[in-house]
Copies of this chain bind each other. A is one copy, B any other.
C-alpha cells in the first residue's frame, strides 16, 4: 500500500463534508468546517487539515461541541458585533457575524467581532485572511485549552492562545500570519516525543517545574510562553480580550469544563475569540501603496520573507496538483463515513 493518497482539493472538501454530516453536524456547519480543513490542506498546514477531522468528529460525538449549533449574532454597539457560538465550532460563528462586522468596519472605520461559547480547532489565519481579502486589516486572538504556565510559575493556566494578523495588498493575496503565544505548538512536542528527539530549551517544564528538553516530560509538565516575559504579557492580553471581554471561557475555566466530560485532547469548549477589523480607507493615507514600500525594503535583504508567502506558494501547487494524505489517516477518515 502506498504511504499517501493523492487527492484533489474538491475531494478533500467532499470527504470532510460527508464525514461531518455523517457524524452529527448540520450541513451548513459541515460545509464551513470542511472549507477550513480544505484551506489548511491547500496551504500545506497539514497539522490543521485532514489530520484534525477525527478531532472535530470526536468533539461532536462526545458532546463537548454542538455540531448543529446555530450561532446567534447581536449588534452590541456601533463598533461591536457579538456572536454566541451556542457551543459550536468557531468558524460557523465567524461566518454568522461576518457580514455585519464588515459593514460596520466599513462605515465606522473599526469594529470588534467577539465570539463566545465557541471552540477553535483551526489555524487562526483562516479567521483573518478572509477579512483581509475583503480589504480590511484584521487581528484575531483566541483562547484554547490550558497547557501553558504563566511566567515564573509552573502549572498550566493559559492556552497556546493563538494570535493572528492579516493585511490586504493591492493585486496580491493578503499578508498574514498566525502563531501560538506559547514557545511551541503542542503538536511539535508530540512529534518530538514520537520521533524520540529532544526539544529546545525554553519550551517546557517537567511535572516538577524544572526546565526540560525531554518531550515526554514536557507533555506531562507545562509549556512556556514564547519570548519570555514579553510573550507572557501577550498571552495575558489574549486571555483578557478573547475571553474576558467577549464572555468566553478563560483557558483555565475551559479546562475545568473539559475535564467534566472526561475529554483529554479534543479541543476547547465554550472558548472565546476576538477579531478586530480596521478599514484602512478610513485614514486615507495611501495605505495600500505605502505598505508595498515596506515589503520591498524587507525583501531587499536576502534570507527574508513576507509572512504568509510560503502558504500561497503551497496553495498554488495544491490547486494544480492536489495534496497527499497519509494513507492511514485517509482510511481512518473514510471509515468514519459509516458513523
Contacts and interface: CB of A to CB of B under 8 A. Distances in A.
Interface of A: 76-80, 82, 107-112, 114, 116, 137, 139, 149-155, 157, 165, 167, 175, 177, 179, 181, 226-231, 233, 236-237, 239-241, 244-247, 250, 252-253, 276, 278-280, 282-287, 290-291, 293-294, 297-298, 301-307
B112 A303 contact: no
B152 A80 contact: no
Given A82-B283, A137-B241, A154-B301, 8 more contacts: A76-B284, A152-B304, A165-B237, A167-B237, A167-B240, A227-B230, A244-B280, A250-B294
25 contacts: A76-B282, A78-B79, A79-B79, A80-B283, A137-B245, A149-B301, A152-B302, A154-B301, A155-B301, A157-B301, A167-B237, A167-B240, A177-B233, A236-B294, A239-B294, A244-B280, A244-B285, A244-B291, A245-B278, A245-B285, A246-B285, A250-B290, A250-B294, A252-B294, A253-B293
A243 B308 CA distance: 21
- Chain A binding surface, main DSSP class: mixed
A150 B116 contact: no
Given A112-B110, A247-B283, A304-B153, A227 B231 contact: yes
Contacts of A280: 244-245
Contacts of A236: 175, 294, 298, 306-307
Nearest to A167: B240
Contacts of A233: 165, 177, 179, 307
A252 B296 CA distance: 12
A240 B137 CA distance: 9
Contact of A157 (B111, B278, B298): B298
The 7 closest A-B pairs by CB, nearest first: A227-B227, A247-B285, A153-B301, A77-B109, A152-B303, A80-B109, A79-B108
A157 B297 contact: yes
A108 B276 CA distance: 14
Contacts of A177: 233
A14 to B, nearest CB: 34
Contacts of A153: 298, 301-304
Nearest to A305: B152
A110 B80 contact: yes
Nearest to A288: B244
B110 A294 contact: no
